[in-house]
Amino acid sequence: MSQDRIDALEQRLRVLEDEREITQLLATYGPLVDSGSGPEVADIWTDDGVYDNDVVAMHGRDDILAMVASPNHQGFIGAGSAHFNGPPAIRVTGDTAVAVNHSLLVLHRDGGFVVHRATANHWQLRRTPQGWRTTVRTGRLLDGGELARTLLRNGALGELPPDVTPA
Amino acid sequence: MSQDRIDALEQRLRVLEDEREITQLLATYGPLVDSGSGPEVADIWTDDGVYDNDVVAMHGRDDILAMVASPNHQGFIGAGSAHFNGPPAIRVTGDTAVAVNHSLLVLHRDGGFVVHRATANHWQLRRTPQGWRTTVRTGRLLDGGELARTLLRNGALGELPPDVTPA
Amino acid sequence: MSQDRIDALEQRLRVLEDEREITQLLATYGPLVDSGSGPEVADIWTDDGVYDNDVVAMHGRDDILAMVASPNHQGFIGAGSAHFNGPPAIRVTGDTAVAVNHSLLVLHRDGGFVVHRATANHWQLRRTPQGWRTTVRTGRLLDGGELARTLLRNGALGELPPDVTPA
């Protein structure tokens, strides 16, 4: 009977550890991208991971590295930026997971700060030998568009996003 | 002695599981309300749950459904909105809990984004057969009013809110 | 063999408990400081804890109490403020830890809300007999300065901050 209880404890602990690892992974995105840490940002994704937002669709780590190094992004962080990600809701199912959160892109401008973007983020993740990594992050501006709302809903329910034609 | 250690592990794990479940529950509020998912928003509360803020006092799930369906809320999400909730501090005591967080209501306006509201949130929760649910959420605009500050303080200390006359 | 499994469970649980305690500690900062709860804010730090930002460098709890009581801070909360802290990424190593997050200072002004500051925060923490406490919090405005970016990067990697000459 002790064995059964220990088995159960190990399974319950595994659930918490998975969510904790995903929470930590996502919490590093903002600090890493705002410090221009390209390789470490790319390492949040799998080798063939996708980061699709309404500005650019990135496929694989080289595309993500290029985004961090781009004049656009370097302009943001050179003037001052906060990629402020909210706490994610996470649903783990075996070796895959879905997470959802809001993010704000806050920019330093004219001596003050403005909210430049507010985005709906749907994250798909996979357990890899190196730990949890993102396979697809789909982000859309919260400008009233249907897709952004569907990303939020599906993410909160632990469901996959709708078919998205990458930008 | 193994039994004692297993007992202790089960109790410690229960504490983490309770906080994790409440964290997840609260993290779904923003994505669900910004996607207009009325029934799922209402299911964050108990059947007789209260959501009292300085705009409206809702009693029971039908009131919450009506808020999500209201022209005011539909106008927010139709134009683009982020009900951006910060990470909660949570205090669990047996089968009840208190949580506190800030939230921002960020609206899409004139091609940009503005912080329309910044709110102090005090959450009371109860363990139910269906899992943790909110019994009372009390929110007040952070406009310098005393009640908003008391909600933050009491929530951070794990205490109940002061007597509030619902709006 | 059961003993080994129980040993392993206890160690894994300890890791989660440490991170959970630090998460809770940091989540109380905003609600406590926005409610003017000086002693409770100071208790987030060790007795000789440091809170160094680009406005003021505080050494020890009395300095933190003085900040909360200052006309500047009282002016913020009297008019309405949200010290909105994002979810931290945390790295625990034995009895010390490093955490990193963004924070926004949102102020109520002219009937609306503005993002007055966006800050990079690097937290150093230590396990004490009373629980985890902050030994050094270093914050810098995200205005494009190099130090703010280094705080974010080092924090996300679980590293100490660079040598900082306090303000």
pLDDT tens-digit profile of C58-110? 999 999 999 999 999 999 999 999 999 999 999 999 999 999 999 999 999 99
Predicted confidence band of residue A166 (pLDDT cuts 50, 70, 90): low
CA distance C157 to A149: 33
Q: How many CB pairs under 8 A join A and B?
A: 112
- Asked if the ipTM is above 0.90, the reply is yes
Residue A51 φ/ψ, nearest 5 degrees: -125, 105
Checking if the pLDDT of C167 tops 70, the result is: no
Q: State residue B123's pLDDT score.
A: 98
- Amino acid in the structure at residue C130: Q
Of B3, B37, B84, the CB nearest to A102: B84
* Beta pairing class for A131-141 and A57-59: unpaired
Q: State residue A148's pLDDT score.
A: 98
**pLDDT (tens digit, 9 = 90+) per residue, B34-51?**
999 999 999 999 999 999
CA distance B26 to B155: 15
Checking if the pLDDT of A164 tops 70, the result is: no
**pLDDT (tens digit, 9 = 90+) per residue, A51-60?**
999 889 999 9
Sign of the CA dihedral running B45, A27, C115, B101: positive
- Contact of C86 with chain A, judged by CB distance below 8 Å, is answered with yes
Q: State residue C90's pLDDT score.
A: 98
- Contact of B101 with chain C, judged by CB distance below 8 Å, is answered with yes
- Amino acid in the structure at residue C7: D
- Contact of C160 with chain A, judged by CB distance below 8 Å, is answered with no
Q: State residue C165's pLDDT score.
A: 59
CB-CB neighbors (< 8 A) of B104 in chain C: 82, 84, 106, 113
Q: State residue B158's pLDDT score.
A: 98
Q: Please identify among residues 7-26 of chain B the ones whose CB lies closer than 8 Å to any CB of chain A.
A: 9-10, 13, 16-17, 20, 23-24
CB C142 within 8 A of CB A108: yes
Checking if the pLDDT of C130 tops 60, the result is: yes
Residue range A127-147: mean pLDDT, rounded? 98
**pLDDT (tens digit, 9 = 90+) per residue, C22-40?**
999 999 999 999 999 999 9
CB B61 within 8 A of CB B146: no
CB C158 within 8 A of CB C98: yes
Could you tell me what percent of chain C has a pLDDT over 70? 98
pLDDT < 70: residue spans in chain B: 164-167
Q: State residue B81's pLDDT score.
A: 98
CA distance B43 to B29: 10
Q: State residue B1's pLDDT score.
A: 72
Residue B99 CA, chain-centre distance (Å), reads 8
* DSSP assignment of chain B: -HHHHHHHHHHHHHHHHHHHHHHHHHHTHHHHHHTT-HHHHHTTEEEEEEEE-SS-EEESHHHHHHHHHSHHHHHHHHH-EEEEEPPPEEEEETTEEEEEEEEEEEEEETTEEEEEEEEEEEEEEEEETTEEEEEEEEEEE-SS-HHHHHHHHHHHTTPPPPP----
Partners of A125 in the β-ladder: A97, A134
- Contact of A109 with chain B, judged by CB distance below 8 Å, is answered with no
- Amino acid in the structure at residue B58: M
Residue range A115-134: mean pLDDT, rounded? 98
